[in-house]
Amino acid sequence: MRKLRIGILDLVAKCPNRSLFARLMNANLASIMPQVIAAWCEQEGHVVTFVCYTGLENLVEELPDNVELVFIGAFTEAAQLAYALSNLFRSRGAITVIGGPHARCYPQDALKYFDYVLGFTDKVTIRDVLQDCCEHRPIGMHVAARQQPTALPGVRERWKFIESTLRKAPLKKIDLRGLPPHQLLQLCNPLPQPISFPILCGLYFGAPWARPRHKYSHFRGILSSLANLETLSQLFGHSRA
Ligand code: B12
């Protein structure tokens, strides 16, 4: 397979927003799947540029002009922005893919604006898109795995992409660095954590709400949590000790 230049956009915001709330909070709403897809694309040998759009970035400048394939993750709130971006990248010669809540809820609408619309997405789905990677216009191609992925890359594999998003989240950054590993574990307990719950869950557990109901999944989940925690304690805990 030829090496592709890939752009991945996680649309947390639907438009520019420089409010204090957006600066402090928006990066906490980042999704896990764009990071997962970035890691899978790199594992397939492609070159990835990853951007979590929180409303502060200049989107036109953030992705290189010459990306050949663009993945966009969007809620329906940001669907209009996603469609406009798809149009822009297509006009520059790129192939575009949408995934996430909007693509799951309204695939028929999204198909009018994207080459690929993804439902459930696992590594095989991504590999299929990477191998096909061609125009599907005027109506895109709907691609979906039969079920949710049974495993997701952990913190170590996703770290490059997590880190670029963490830099945009001043509150959470303080949370993480001040805490020893056993408190990190408590934070990972899926109880309400007003500021850092969503991204912490994604970060440590690989989105526990997304785990498949499988007889070994709990055990596997614990193992992967421990691996993620070990990585995090290496990254944060030991440097403080
Ligand atoms: C956890 C959660 C949150 C968390 C984390 C959100 C996040 N950024 O990840 C928090 C609390 C922050 C949140 C906030 C909101 N949420 Co919410 N949330 C959920 C919930 C419960 C689970 C989603 C999840 O992470 N699943 C785990 C992942 C791994 O699985 P998945 O979502 O099914 O995704 C699969 C595919 O869609 C695909 N995929 C997912 N993302 C991407 C990205 C790309 C690029 C690709 C190719 C594929 C892909 O791969 C996955 C594996 O198969 C869902 C309800 C549900 N049960 O699905 C609602 C849900 C997604 N949320 C919803 C809404 C409306 C919101 C808010 C807009 C609410 C609000 N008014 O503020 C905000 C928006 C936040 C933002 N801008 O980012 C709606 C979305 C509806 C829509 N059409 O957009 C849902 C469906 C709930 C509902 N039924 O109304 N949410």
Q: 69 phi and psi, to 5 degrees?
A: -140, 130
- Strand 95-99 and strand 69-74: the pairing is parallel
Task: List the pLDDT tens digit at each of the 241 positions of the chain.
Answer: 789 999 999 999 999 999 999 998 999 999 999 999 999 999 999 999 999 999 999 998 898 889 999 999 999 999 999 999 999 999 999 999 999 999 999 999 999 999 999 999 999 999 999 999 999 999 999 999 999 999 999 988 999 999 999 899 886 544 444 445 555 554 444 444 444 455 454 444 444 444 444 444 555 555 666 677 677 666 665 444 3
**26 Cα: distance to centroid of ligand 1 (angstroms):** 14
CA distances from 221 to 118, 150, 154 (A): 25, 10, 11
Q: What is the CATH number of domain 5-143?
A: 3.40.50
The residue whose CA is least distant from atom 12 of ligand 1 is 29
Ligand 1, residues 115, 191, 209: which to mutate, most atoms within 8 A of Cβ?
Answer: 209
What is the spatial distance between Cα 229 and Cα 235, in angstroms, rounded to a whole number?
A: 10
The CATH 3.40.50 domain(s) of the chain lie at: 5-143
**224 Cα: distance to centroid of ligand 1 (angstroms):** 22
How many whole angstroms from its chain centre is CA 116?
17
The pairs formed by 218-227 with CB atoms below 8 angstroms and a separation of 24 or more are 220/151, 224/151, 224/154, 225/188, 227/154, 227/155, 227/156
